[in-house]
Amino acid sequence: MAARPSAAASTLHTVESDGAGMRLDAYLSRYLGEHSRSEWQRLLESGSVTLDGAQSKPAQRLTGGETVEVHPVADVPLLEPDPSIHLDVVYEDDAIVVIDKPAGLVVHPAPGHETGTLVHALLARFPALRDPTGEMRPGIVHRLDKDTSGLMVVGKTAPVVAELQRQMREGGVQKRYRLLVAGVIQENRGTIEAPIGRDRMHRQRMSVRPDGRASLTEFWVLERFARYTFVDAALPSGRTHQLRVHFSSIGHPVAADRTYGSGRAPGGLMRQFVHSAQLSLTSPATGRTEQFSAPLPADLERALSALRGAERVAAPVESAW
């Protein structure tokens, strides 16, 4: 949804000398701070922000002394809150909201999912999240796939979102997942370190590729079955589809994953067995490290129960660690 400059007065800003060398979007996020970096990118791409009178790309490098002009944004269609979407709020304070997202719920609007998303539900529950510029991801710090359930944190203001994203970059946010993968993993504990990038042949998918972004997954085996392994995994890095790509790359695709595996699954499971089970972070409101957990939802519990009742649990092996 493109924003358009209105006829109202613009705001001028001279780039500070210590902004030399910075990307334009990063500079605006740090020095003007009115919007998230992603929102500044959207405004730049729409022409609502110009550099020395010309439209510029978010990645434009600054030299210092340039004039940034921020044009008032004309009215844009606002996202309609949807109070019909249930939100399971695990925790809330003045800065953050932690929710237990159900499987099947898309996080933010996108082509094909313009309504009925988590963002629409958040706006109904927390009206202050609304951004008058039409920001499509208000409060979103990180995302889960549509068919992944579990814990997510939402920031109540742009500075809080920026702080939580900083924590994620610097390893201050700990995320643990439960997943069921095909085949029997012999190691009791292991790591998968392989770079991930956009698949060159299938642009909707990710893949392990040498020029991808560095990605690390740590895992611990919880249970073994005759044809599956139940795993606890941590993500020191957080790439798109990371768990699904990494486990597929070692020959153990996630159960019911039709994108990176065969889709085979136990107990009639209809979606990939990935659940965001634990989350730890420092709330900007309290300054304390807060820890949260979410139990497996019913469909994943049923799949495990089916395995426990029908498949012989493989004998444990000595850990290589």
| Run of H or E residues at 292 | strand 289-293
Q: Strand order of the sheet with strand 67-70?
A: 11-14, 67-70, 49-51, 54-55
Torsion 224-259-250-105 (CA) sign: negative
Active site residue 131: no
> Which among 25, 100, 145, 257 is annotated as catalytic?
145
How far apart, in whole angstroms, are the C-alpha atoms of residue 135 and residue 38?
A: 9
**Three-state DSSP class for residue 245:** helix
With b meaning 16 or more CB within 10 Å and e meaning fewer, what string describes 159-187? Answer: ebbbbbbebbeeeebbbbbbbbbbeebee
Cα(305)–Cα(52) distance, integer angstroms: 64
- Residue from 282, 192, 287 nearest 231 by CA: 192
Q: Tell me, what DSSP letter sits at residue 169?
A: H
If phi over 0 gives left and psi between -120 and 50 gives alpha, with beta otherwise, what is residue 257?
beta
Tokens of 189: 């504990």
Q: 18: which residues sit within 8 A by CB, 6+ positions away?
A: 64
222 phi, psi to nearest 5 deg = -100, -45
Q: Cα(33)–Cα(12) distance, rounded to whole angstroms? A: 14
CA-nearest of 207, 199, 250 to 229 is 250
Catalogue the active-site residues. Answer: 145
